[in-house]
Chain A
């Protein structure tokens, strides 16, 4: 079985004319992916540090790493899915995605801050 149809993407999503010549969509997809990488790295760093404090505290970091991984996959999928709607003139606004990233990042950093304060206070 040839991989070329898969690599070329689904036909209805492929651009058939010059569109988005400033590559806004691709730059945005890369920004999503960089953010997912940053989320994963921050989660891994936190796991490394929190493992010295208490094993249970690492759960926050695992959650962040899994969220970052899911975000990375979603970013690629979303990029592929957005070609057609963008060419048709639909708005790419996605409040659910931004809300999820905003809340998860806030909860992760809040949890990491509380854990760090507790570690400092308890002298861990």
Chain B
């Protein structure tokens, strides 16, 4: 009795059910499938290189998160420094959220012997971190002059 009520048509029972509620285009962009469903196994060295690149992105996002948390909580030299930390945290979230999708797309491309798709994320990360660094340096300079 109770399960039949809980498992109504409105209640998703699995991640597939949950995904069916989302628009198809959004679903295809966010929930990339298992790359093993496509093509043939590539050279194991390529697969491992892709895995290491994915892990490097994850570590980068964790480092950005650590920097962001540190900026939010430790820096108290000038007003507004929290914004710098939150900016780093936002960049960190973006990096982590796109890393698996990027790994799966590259793996799928390798299995289909297709060119690897380019990514805008390294450029975005460079601009974002550079911007935060410059703003932090300017604020530090003003803070030290004013103090």
Interface of A with B (CB < 8 Å)? 22, 24-25, 27-28, 31-32, 34-35, 38-39, 41-42, 45-46, 49, 52, 86, 90-95, 98-99, 101-103, 105-106, 108-110, 112-113, 116-117, 119-120
Say whether, besides A24-B48, A103-B100, A116 and B86 are in contact (CB < 8 Å). yes
Our pick among B51, B52, B58, B101 for the contact of A105 (Cβ within 8 Å) is B58
Contact between B47 and A106, CB atoms less than 8 A apart: no
Contact between A102 and B96, CB atoms less than 8 A apart: yes
Contact between A42 and B72, CB atoms less than 8 A apart: no
Q: How far is the CB of B33 from chain A (nearest CB, A)?
A: 9
Contact between A112 and B44, CB atoms less than 8 A apart: no
Q: Interface on chain A toward B: helix, strand, loop, or mixed SS? A: helix
Q: How far is the CB of A99 from chain B (nearest CB, A)?
A: 6
Our pick among A35, A49, A86, A110 for the contact of B72 (Cβ within 8 Å) is A49
Complex: chain A residue closest to B93, CB-CB: A109
Q: How large is the interface on B (under 10, 10 to 19, 20 to 34, 35 or more residues)?
A: 35 or more
Say whether, besides A95-B34, A109-B89, A46 and B69 are in contact (CB < 8 Å). yes
B76-90 interface (Cβ within 8 A of A): 82, 85-86, 89-90
Contact between B107 and A93, CB atoms less than 8 A apart: yes
Q: List 8 A-B contacts (CB under 8 A).
A: A95-B34, A98-B51, A105-B61, A108-B65, A109-B92, A113-B86, A116-B69, A119-B72
